[in-house]
Amino acid sequence: MKSPSAILLISCPDRRGIVAAVTKFILDHDGNIIDLEQYVDSAANAFFMRLEWSLDGFRVPREKIAEAFAPTGREFDMTSALFFSDVRSRMAVFVTRESHCLFDILGRVESREWDVEIPLIISNREDLRPAAERFGIPFHVFPKTAENKARQEKCEIELLAKHRVDLVVLARYMQIVGGDLVAQYLNRIINIHHSFLPAFAGAKPYHAAYERGVKIIGATSHYVTEDLDEGPIIEQDIVRVSHRESVEELIRRGKDVEKIVLARAVAAHIEHRVLAYRNRTVVFA
Amino acid sequence: MKSPSAILLISCPDRRGIVAAVTKFILDHDGNIIDLEQYVDSAANAFFMRLEWSLDGFRVPREKIAEAFAPTGREFDMTSALFFSDVRSRMAVFVTRESHCLFDILGRVESREWDVEIPLIISNREDLRPAAERFGIPFHVFPKTAENKARQEKCEIELLAKHRVDLVVLARYMQIVGGDLVAQYLNRIINIHHSFLPAFAGAKPYHAAYERGVKIIGATSHYVTEDLDEGPIIEQDIVRVSHRESVEELIRRGKDVEKIVLARAVAAHIEHRVLAYRNRTVVFA
Amino acid sequence: MKSPSAILLISCPDRRGIVAAVTKFILDHDGNIIDLEQYVDSAANAFFMRLEWSLDGFRVPREKIAEAFAPTGREFDMTSALFFSDVRSRMAVFVTRESHCLFDILGRVESREWDVEIPLIISNREDLRPAAERFGIPFHVFPKTAENKARQEKCEIELLAKHRVDLVVLARYMQIVGGDLVAQYLNRIINIHHSFLPAFAGAKPYHAAYERGVKIIGATSHYVTEDLDEGPIIEQDIVRVSHRESVEELIRRGKDVEKIVLARAVAAHIEHRVLAYRNRTVVFA
Amino acid sequence: MKSPSAILLISCPDRRGIVAAVTKFILDHDGNIIDLEQYVDSAANAFFMRLEWSLDGFRVPREKIAEAFAPTGREFDMTSALFFSDVRSRMAVFVTRESHCLFDILGRVESREWDVEIPLIISNREDLRPAAERFGIPFHVFPKTAENKARQEKCEIELLAKHRVDLVVLARYMQIVGGDLVAQYLNRIINIHHSFLPAFAGAKPYHAAYERGVKIIGATSHYVTEDLDEGPIIEQDIVRVSHRESVEELIRRGKDVEKIVLARAVAAHIEHRVLAYRNRTVVFA
């Protein structure tokens, strides 16, 4: 058993002495650094850091760490977030009809590859209820029309709050997410788009890819913002195709890329390796 | 030494009996098929074929093959092109400032990886004259302004004709090619665009890719049409990047993809493995 | 709904006239070729072909096709196999402890990406019974010792026969398969090995990969022969790693490659696109 | 123009306070950190770090930095190496017959993608003299026999010393490098092996890959040790192949991977991003 660790994600204006100050803070309380990654965006004069240290022997109890670090944070004008490796993410999955991303996620949770909880699955349709039931996860359906959309989304937000969800994964959820949900879960809603963005944004990307005669198709996982398909990209990958593949075959091949790309993005997020800024992401290794 | 072979590229409306008729033609004249690839685009009801057979023992002399095949071609309303493996392509390379694609091409020719002739290199600038001279290839400069562009391009076309050029390779040639040149060399001008088209068409694709925060960059080789960056794609490839890469680093990494993608497209063309139709390509293996 | 098609896989010594004869057979009976791929291994003087044609309008009833084709087959000394697109494969899955490949397969079947039946799952351990039960598939356990191995395998073979299984997929089955089973299912047992063969054959490939300090790990799907890890390779793929990945992280990353590589190999097999010869495979596109 | 920077590569036993101490050293002398990467191999209890900081404003003159840092280095029992971004590497290239890697290297130097000097090219044969001459680089031939090998290698070592060479690149040099040269240039000789090591070590890897029927071929760049093909791997990459490729075609496709993989390894080395230990490498991004 690994002993639990603390993870600090920091962003701040770049200036001298940040790493020295942060590492001194850990050292002064007898902390043992497990991992440290930093990145400076010189053009933006922005500093980013991920620091992970063992709680074993660290002289500040976990509930006092934020307070103890506060003076350092203030000195450098930091935005920071603190996580603990033994606190499991609570993830809601939104789906519509396609099951490949959902099954992929459920398999990872069931096999404990991911140490997360999925208290509920939400859909606008009934189609995937059997899949959810196979894994014993509550399945909530909120059918949407132009009229009831706002009201239904309010219900969804309440349900997420009730289940203390801290991450929403859109696993081929073919609906536009409303502004309130986006605002409440800023940089905590991950979508998979079935193209290599920014190519083929919008609906029917495989049809568009076929029409253009591309030799490679891809998938893009990103945080959801109000602008559809425009949020900060977390992960992308591709697969080669040829003239031989019909649209149907592109769709079939694309599914494998979609589920793997989405899984990598979710893994990076739940391991607290992602920082979003200026519609970009820093994804530490 | 391999004995020479004939290569027939065929496209026609799809109907029954095409393969049977074409292979019977070869068999009836004691030909030995080396390679046969065919593809049917059902949606477009279009048939494509590449047939290669040994001239050794074939009972029709090479200068009579087209004539002998004509009845079969007419029966199926074929468009066809006939090539011989021992006839070398004559390739003109157009460049501007960047040398990586040019050096890559020259290295392949010098080492006889490609059995082609490069009678001339054309540029709108002097920058790469030393590179051309290192390999002893005549270097012609046609500086262009809005005023002299049409006249200069006419000179270029004459020069290409004089040197019996049958393939033009734009090796990071940062100029728009005029309609006359495109028309005369339809599906015989290959360009390398430094992005994964259709993403980031136009100028400065690496800057745009950086701004969008993509996790993968790419390059696209395509036949040149009048619509910039819109021609039929022959080959694409990508390389992974991360938040760490600056625009300069994207440019540097992109160069390796560009030169390899361009080289693969040129290789496919000079081996007569590419058929273009409806702004798409069939690239046989 | 696509109308059903027939698929003929042919191998024979290479000589003139094979394609002409086969396509004439189809034409003479009013068949409409959907796909034709052929490959000649000149070094081995061997010819391979996959021919798919629509049964719609074909003047030979499906149960008489083999007989009607026999004279052509004899003329060219062909080995051939005939399949029909509307006959579903019956697949048995063998597992041990790891669930990622099993879940991946079950998800593909459940979503009808693959049109196959899985009448049973076999294991040497109880671990994955819950996974099988989630999908309602009978789960049979045959624990093995040095003593009972032969007897247990006999039972397995009987069970496979009883369920008319025509494909066995070893989805991270960590047992050596006995000679009788291999013999009865020659080129019909597909294994996934968790390395880029021939590198790191045998047990603990990720540990070995870590020790060697490789920058890429991979997975290999192959038909099972009596020589462990030595059978004909159907598909391989890789993922980049760095010095940062521990053995555990290599194992985790490897799982994604394993399941995708296995799925591609199985898809190629059930679509009748694979021909094995001389410990190699021809995998048509 | 970027102002020059200092780069410090550190390895030492892992313990608390290393990062704090090193960053304090920089801070205390008014240094501005440009990049900091660290890695801890917990299993080996080993710490690695690459630190780059601007010399602009740093209060220790460059010739005194090593001395000023020495106490910190001693405290943590560090092995360290100091480099300056404005000091160009002096690279010798060893070749035999194949020109693709050599041309690739020369193109990168000529275009100033790499800011290195190549004072000489060494070969055991005359074949590539014209290539060297095209780029105006002295070409030295040391033909080798079992008898003269030791003597010839002594001459080579003297020549390298005379030209103050600090990096030797074996660009498809088909000779075993002697122990004296290896010892003098430990972790400073980079080889490209034309397979995905450890698969297909030794001679004729493409023939072996063909025989085994692999679906992917690769190339491996590594530091040269006395054990052939066994040195620490710096970079690897692959390209997909199919049953269609003959050995000759594998060789041709492999060349593109070889030259790119070698170039990436050389780039990592000359940018001082590689640390070798225990037959592994840490390659910082």
Which whole-number Å values give the CA distances from C23 to B42, C20, C28, C69, in the listed order? 19, 5, 8, 11
Q: Who's near B211: CB < 8 A, 6+ residues apart?
A: none
Q: Are residues D98 and D30 in the same domain?
A: no
Q: Mind telling me how many Å the CA of B156 is from chain D's nearest CA?
A: 26
Cβ–Cβ below 8 Å for A260 and C260 = yes
User: How many domains does one find in chain C?
Assistant: 2
Instruction: Name the nearest CA neighbour of B106 among B98, B116, B96, B97.
Output: B116
C3: pLDDT confidence band, cut at 50, 70 and 90?
A: confident
C245 φ/ψ angles, rounded to the nearest 5 degrees: -80, 125
* pLDDT for residue D1: 60
**Parallel, antiparallel or unpaired: strands D5-13 and C280-283:** unpaired
* pLDDT for residue C202: 87
* Active-site choice (D14, D41, D166, D229): D229
Q: Mind telling me how many Å the CA of B198 is from chain A's nearest CA?
A: 6
Q: Are residues D190 and D261 in the same domain?
A: yes
Whether the CB-CB separation of A278 and A44 falls below 8 Å is answered with yes
- Is residue C32 less than 8 Å (CB to CB) from chain B? yes
Q: Which residues in chain B have their CB less than 8 angstroms from residue D113's CB?
A: 100, 252, 255
D213/B61 Cα distance (integer angstroms):
38
Q: Who's near D50: CB < 8 A, 6+ residues apart?
A: D7, D8, D9, D10, D35, D36, D37, D38, D272, D273, D275, D284
C35: pLDDT confidence band, cut at 50, 70 and 90?
A: very high
A67/D179 Cα distance (integer angstroms):
59
Q: Are residues C113 and C198 in the same domain?
A: yes
- Is residue B33 less than 8 Å (CB to CB) from chain C? yes
- Is residue C20 less than 8 Å (CB to CB) from chain B? yes
Residues recorded for chain B: 285
C217/C206 Cα distance (integer angstroms):
8
Cβ–Cβ below 8 Å for C20 and B17 = no
**Parallel, antiparallel or unpaired: strands D216-223 and D189-193:** antiparallel
* pLDDT for residue C1: 60
**Domain end: B52, B84, B116, which one?**
B84
Residue C105 has pLDDT above 90, yes or no: yes
Q: Are residues A119 and A147 in the same domain?
A: yes
| pLDDT, mean of residues C63-89 | 97
Q: Are residues B47 and B143 in the same domain?
A: no
DSSP state at residue D37: E
Q: Are residues A117 and A199 in the same domain?
A: yes
Interface pTM, i.e. ipTM: 0.96
Least confident of B154-163, C1-10, C157-166, D206-215: C1-10
Whether the CB-CB separation of D91 and D165 falls below 8 Å is answered with yes
Cβ–Cβ below 8 Å for A20 and D17 = no
Indicate the Cα dihedral angle B145, B148, B150, B152, nearest 10°: -100
**Parallel, antiparallel or unpaired: strands B167-170 and C216-223:** unpaired
Q: Are residues B182 and B277 in the same domain?
A: yes
Averaged confidence pLDDT in chain B: 96
Q: Which residues in chain D have their CB less than 8 angstroms from residue A30's CB?
A: 16
Q: Are residues B21 and B119 in the same domain?
A: no
Regions of chain D short of the pLDDT cut 50: none
Cβ–Cβ below 8 Å for C36 and B27 = no
- Please, which residues 35-74 of chain D have a Cβ atom closer than 8 Å to chain A? 35-38, 40, 42
Instruction: Name the nearest CA neighbour of D221 among D165, D167, D178.
Output: D167
Q: Mind telling me how many Å the CA of D249 is from chain C's nearest CA?
A: 13
Residue B1 has pLDDT above 80, yes or no: no
Q: Mind telling me how many Å the CA of C133 is from chain B's nearest CA?
A: 39
* pLDDT for residue D26: 97
**Domain end: D84, D118, D136, which one?**
D84
Residue with tokens 């060349």: D255
Instruction: Name the nearest CA neighbour of C84 among C105, C70, C63, C67.
Output: C63
A227: pLDDT confidence band, cut at 50, 70 and 90?
A: confident
In a 13 Å sphere around the CA of C276, the CA atoms on its Cβ side amount to 19
- Is residue A2 less than 8 Å (CB to CB) from chain C? no
Helix (H, G, I), strand (E, B) or coil at C49: strand
Please confirm, yes or no, whether C229 is among the known catalytic residues: yes
* pLDDT for residue D202: 87
- Which chain B residue has its CA at the smallest distance from C38's CA? B36
* Active-site choice (C166, C229, C237, C256): C229
Q: Which residues in chain A have their CB less than 8 angstroms from residue B233's CB?
A: 212-215
**Which of A16, A27, A30 is opposite residue D20, by nearest beta carbon?**
A27
| pLDDT, mean of residues C196-211 | 94
Q: Are residues A110 and A39 in the same domain?
A: no
Write out pLDDT tens, residues A9-27: 999 999 999 999 999 999 9
Write out pLDDT tens, residues A97-113: 999 999 999 999 999 99
Residue A1 has pLDDT above 70, yes or no: no
B205/B257 Cα distance (integer angstroms):
14
Q: Who's near B144: CB < 8 A, 6+ residues apart?
A: B124, B152, B175
Instruction: Name the nearest CA neighbour of B106 among B136, B140, B141.
Output: B136
Indicate the Cα dihedral angle D239, D240, D243, D245, nearest 10°: -30
| pLDDT, mean of residues A200-221 | 96
Indicate the Cα dihedral angle C217, C222, C226, C228, nearest 10°: 10
Q: Are residues C68 and C104 in the same domain?
A: no
| pLDDT, mean of residues B206-223 | 97
B221/B231 Cα distance (integer angstroms):
9
Helix or strand holding residue B40 (H, E): strand B32-41
Residue A132 has pLDDT above 70, yes or no: yes
**Which of D216, D232, D237 is opposite residue C236, by nearest beta carbon?**
D216
Indicate which CATH number applies to the domain containing C112.
Answer: 3.40.50.170
The token pair that represents B77 in the structure block = 């309303």
* pLDDT for residue A68: 98
Other chains touching B, judged by 3 or more CB pairs under 8 Å: A, C, D
* pLDDT for residue D278: 92
* Active-site choice (A41, A229, A237, A256): A229
C47/D61 Cα distance (integer angstroms):
73
Residue B98 has pLDDT above 80, yes or no: yes
D192 φ/ψ angles, rounded to the nearest 5 degrees: -115, 120
Q: Which residues in chain C have their CB less than 8 angstroms from residue B5's CB?
A: none
* Size of the A and C interface in Cβ pairs below 8 Å: 49
**Domain end: D61, D84, D107, which one?**
D84
Q: Are residues B238 and B217 in the same domain?
A: yes
Residue A263 belongs to domain spanning: 89-283
Averaged confidence pLDDT in chain A: 96
Cβ–Cβ below 8 Å for A100 and C113 = yes
- Is residue B34 less than 8 Å (CB to CB) from chain C? yes
Indicate which CATH number applies to the domain containing C16.
Answer: 3.30.70.260
Residue from C227, C243, C249, C261 whose CB has the most chain D CBs within 10 Å, to mutate: C243
Q: Mind telling me how many Å the CA of C67 is from chain B's nearest CA?
A: 21
Q: Who's near A167: CB < 8 A, 6+ residues apart?
A: A89, A90, A91, A92, A116, A185, A188, A189, A190, A266, A269, A270
Whether the CB-CB separation of D188 and D281 falls below 8 Å is answered with no
- Is residue C111 less than 8 Å (CB to CB) from chain A? yes
- Which chain B residue has its CA at the smallest distance from C36's CA? B38
So which residues of B are the catalytic ones?
229
Q: Which residues in chain A have their CB less than 8 angstroms from residue C135's CB?
A: 134
- Please, which residues 187-216 of chain C have a Cβ atom closer than 8 Å to chain D? 196-200, 212-216
| pLDDT, mean of residues A78-99 | 97
Q: Are residues C141 and C46 in the same domain?
A: no
Helix (H, G, I), strand (E, B) or coil at C252: helix
Cβ–Cβ below 8 Å for D16 and A30 = yes
Q: Where are the beta strands (DSSP E) in chain A?
A: 5-13, 32-41, 46-54, 79-84, 89-95, 116-123, 139-141, 167-170, 189-193, 216-223, 233-240, 274-277, 280-283
Q: Which amino acid is at A208?
A: A
**Which of B98, B107, B135 is opposite residue D99, by nearest beta carbon?**
B107
